[in-house]
Amino acid sequence: MANIEKKPVKIVETVLRDAHQSLIATRMTTDQMLPIVDKMDQVGYHAVECWGGATFDASLRFLKEDPWDRLRKLRAGFKHTKLQMLFRGQNILGYNHYADDVVEYFVQKSIANGIDIIRIFDCLNDIRNLQTAVKAANKENGHAQVALSYTLGDAYTLDYWKEIAKEIEDMGANSLCIKDMAGLLTPYAAEELVTALKESVKLPIDLHTHYTSGVASMTYLKAVEAGCDMIDTAMSPFALGTSQPATEVMVETFSGTRYDTGLNKEALAEIAEYFRPLREEALASGLMNTKVLGVDINTLRYQVPGGMLSNLVSQLKEAHAEDKYYDVLQEIPRVRKDFGEPPLVTPSSQIVGTQAVLNVLMGQRYKMFTKESKKLLMGEFGQTVKPFNAEVQKKAIGNAKPITCRPADLIEPQLQKLEAEMSQWKKQDEDVLTYALFPQVAKEFFEYREAQTTGIDPHKADKLNRAYPV
Helix %, strand %, coil % for the chain, to 5? Answer: 55, 10, 35
Cα–Cα distance for residue pair 345/184, rounded to 1 Å: 12
Cα(411)–Cα(407) distance, integer angstroms: 7
Question: What CATH number has the domain spanning 8-288?
Answer: 3.20.20.70
263 or 311: which leads in pLDDT: 263
Q: What tens digit of pLDDT does each residue of 128-147 get? A: 999 999 999 999 999 999 99
Residue 2 has pLDDT above 70, yes or no: no
Question: Which class for 41: exposed (0-12), middle (13-18), buried (19 or more C-beta within 10 A)?
Answer: middle
pLDDT score recorded for residue 465: 43
| Phi and psi torsions of 54, nearest 5° | -90, 0
Structural Rg of the chain based on CA atoms? 22
Report strand pairing: 82-87 vs 47-52: parallel
Complete DSSP assignment for 212-275: GGS-HHHHHHHHHHTT--EEEEB-GGG-STTSPPBHHHHHHHHTTSTT-----HHHHHHHHHHH
Residue 290 falls in which region: left (phi positive, over 0), alpha (psi -120 to 50) or beta = alpha
Band of pLDDT at residue 151, cut at 50, 70 and 90: very high
Q: Does 461 have pLDDT greater than 90?
A: no
Arithmetic mean of pLDDT over the chain: 93
Backbone angles phi, psi at 297, to 5 degrees: -70, -15
Q: Look at 88-102, 171-185, 214-228, 342-356 and tell me which has the smallest mean pLDDT.
A: 342-356
What is the structure's pLDDT at 469? 32
What is the pLDDT at residue 453? 85
Instruction: Supply the pLDDT for residue 277.
Output: 97
Residue type, position 139, single letter: K
Cα separation values, 318 from 176, 361, 448, Å: 40, 12, 32
Average pLDDT over residues 337-353: 91
Q: What is the mean pLDDT of residues 171-179?
A: 98
Question: Tell me: the pLDDT tens digits for 325-342?
Answer: 989 989 999 999 999 999
Better pLDDT: 222 or 25: 222
Return the number of other C-beta atoms located less than 10 Å from residue 381's C-beta: 25
The Cβ of residue 47 has, within 10 Å, a number of other Cβ atoms equal to: 24
Residue 341 contacts residue 125 (beta carbons within 8 Å): no
The total number of residues shown for the chain amounts to: 470
pLDDT at 247 over 80: yes
Using pLDDT thresholds of 50, 70 and 90, give the confidence band for residue 313.
Answer: confident
pLDDT of residue 468: 32
| Domain boundary assignment for the chain | 8-288, 303-403
Q: Cα-Cα-Cα-Cα dihedral of 288, 289, 291, 294, to 10°?
A: 30
pLDDT at residue 57, as a whole number: 95
303-403 folds as Cyclin A; domain 1 (1.10.472)
Q: What are the two backbone dihedrals, phi and then psi, of residue 70, each rounded to the nearest 5 degrees?
A: -60, -45
How much is the pLDDT for 466? 41
pLDDT at 460 over 70: no
